[in-house]
Amino acid sequence: MYRPLAAILALVAIASTPVDSKASPEPAFMEGQSILSLRVGASNTRGEGTGWMAGGGLGVGLNRAMLLAMDLSHAEPNHEIQRHISFWTLQLEVGAPFQHRISPRLGAGVGVYRTKGMQSYTLDFDPSPLQEGASPPTFKITQFGFSAGLGLSLQVTNHILLDFEAREHRTLRRELNGDIGGVLDMTTAGGGLTYVLR
């Protein structure tokens, strides 16, 4: 999945040109500057099909090339087992936003992934049928995980970026309560906006 995207980003990096300082004020993305990001897109968990995702975050520029952000996102795969995946992650992104009209970037994050859903009797231990009108039992799994991805930012104004990104997410098998469960392996891809707060 990442090979074509990496090739595109490499070509864009070569072709991108610095913003003309005579035509534009000083770049807004600087050390200590706060940003707000919003995005929507698709999510895909292994063997469960493609669903949707949405999220956003608040961050601060460490310098002109690095951003540290707290991110909150939600994803719902398209599968017979209804699942809701929420994840809170601390993200570090490296790029050159507001210094080039088109800027590739890299990102990595760590955090907590919580999965809630309804159990399926085709997979569960208890084969007894549900009583009429009763809801299937639910489950909750909380795990520590990490993410890594590639992105592309297009400068719209001196304070707004149009972003595109793809990320790979993976959790540890051990849950936070000590139980040993399954590994969440998920890919998200989408687009959104980044706004420099004043």
Summarize pLDDT for 94-106 with one digit per residue, the tens: 988 777 889 999 9
User: In this predicted model, which residue has the larger pLDDT, 118 or 2?
Assistant: 118
Weakest-pLDDT range from 117-131, 145-159, 176-190: 117-131
Alpha-carbon distance of 38 to 62, in angstroms, equals 20
Rounded mean pLDDT, 45-72: 89
Rounded mean pLDDT, 49-76: 92
Alpha-carbon distance of 101 to 153, in angstroms, equals 8
Residue 60, pLDDT > 50, answer: yes
pTM: 0.75
User: In this predicted model, which residue has the larger pLDDT, 54 or 12?
Assistant: 54
Closest CA to 65 of 110, 16, 27, 25: 27
Residue 137, pLDDT > 90, answer: no
| Confidence (pLDDT) at 197 | 87
Q: Are 52 and 75 in contact (CB under 8 A)?
A: yes
| Confidence (pLDDT) at 35 | 92
Residue 80, pLDDT > 70, answer: no
Alpha-carbon distance of 158 to 48, in angstroms, equals 40
Q: CA triplet 152, 196, 163: central angle to 5 degrees?
A: 20
Q: Name the amino acid, one letter, at 22.
A: K
Fold type of domain 2-16+28-120+136-196: Porin (2.40.160)
Write out the two tokens for 118: 């309804």
Alpha-carbon distance of 138 to 136, in angstroms, equals 6
Q: Are 41 and 188 in contact (CB under 8 A)?
A: yes
Residue 53, pLDDT > 90, answer: yes
| Confidence (pLDDT) at 59 | 93
> Mapping DSSP to helix (H, G, I), strand (E, B) and coil, where does residue 9 land?
helix
| Confidence (pLDDT) at 64 | 82
> Mapping DSSP to helix (H, G, I), strand (E, B) and coil, where does residue 3 land?
helix
Q: How many CB atoms lie under 10 A from the CB of residue 4?
A: 8
Q: Are 155 and 101 in contact (CB under 8 A)?
A: yes
Rounded mean pLDDT, 174-186: 87
User: In this predicted model, which residue has the larger pLDDT, 80 or 172?
Assistant: 172
